[in-house]
Amino acid sequence: MSETILVDSNLGEIALEHAKNRLGFEYDSFKLATEQRLSMITIGTMGQLIFKNYLESNGIEFDFQLQYGKYDDYDFKIGDRIIEIKSSGYRDADEWLKLNGIYNASQLEQAILKKYFCSVQIFLSGYDKVNKLFNVKKCDRAIIAGWIEIDEIAKIPAKYLPFGKAHLIPLEKLKPIKSLLKL
C-alpha cells in the first residue's frame, strides 16, 4: 500500500538549491540540457528529503547522507540496513499508477557490492514528461509507492532504455512502506 505525502513548498526550494550545487557531478552521461539535468537532480533530492521527513514523522531512527560530492556511501541507514531512494516524476493525479520503478543496471551492481538492503520508490507530482522538466512549484504531492529488496531487483531482467540499461520494477512487486519501518 502506498503513502501519499503532501509536499511543503519550502522543500522544493531546498531541493532546487541543492540540485544547482550538484550539477557538476550528476547526469552528465545522459547528455541532457542543463535545465533537464537540474530537473532530474531536483527530483532525486526531493525524494530523499520527503523520505527523511517521513521517517522523522514516524519516529524512526536513521542516518542520512544528502550527496554533495561525487559519491555518497548511502542515502539512508536504518540500523545496519542501507536504503536507497529512487524518485520519478509524474504529471496527472493517477499517472504514477501506470509507471514502473526504474533501477539503473550499473547502479544495481554498485548496490550489490555495497550491500544495500533495499530501494524505496517515490513518485513526485509536477513533472512534464514531454519536455523532461520538473516544476517544484507544481509539486504538491509525493507518493511513496513501496520498497523492494536489492536481491529481488537483480532477479528482474534488465532492458535497454533511451538512457541506458535498467531494471523496470512493476509496482505490484513493491512491498508496503510501513512493512519496512517494522523491520
**Pair type for strands 3-6 and 141-149:** antiparallel
Model pLDDT for residues 61-84, shown as the tens digit of each residue: 999 998 765 567 899 999 999 999
pTM for the full predicted model: 0.94
Domain ranges within the chain, ordered by starting residue: 3-181
* 34-57 vs 9-22: helix crossing angle, rounded to 10: 130
Taking a C-beta distance cutoff of 8 angstroms, is the pair 130, 110 a contact? no
Identify the bridge partners of residue 169 per DSSP, sorted by sequence position: 101
DSSP label of 110 = H
**CB-based contacts of 155, cutoff 8 Å, min separation 6:** none
Residue-level pLDDT at 21: 87
Residues 7-32 have a mean pLDDT of 82
Model pLDDT for residues 113-146, shown as the tens digit of each residue: 999 999 999 999 999 999 999 999 999 999 999 9
Residue-level pLDDT at 34: 85
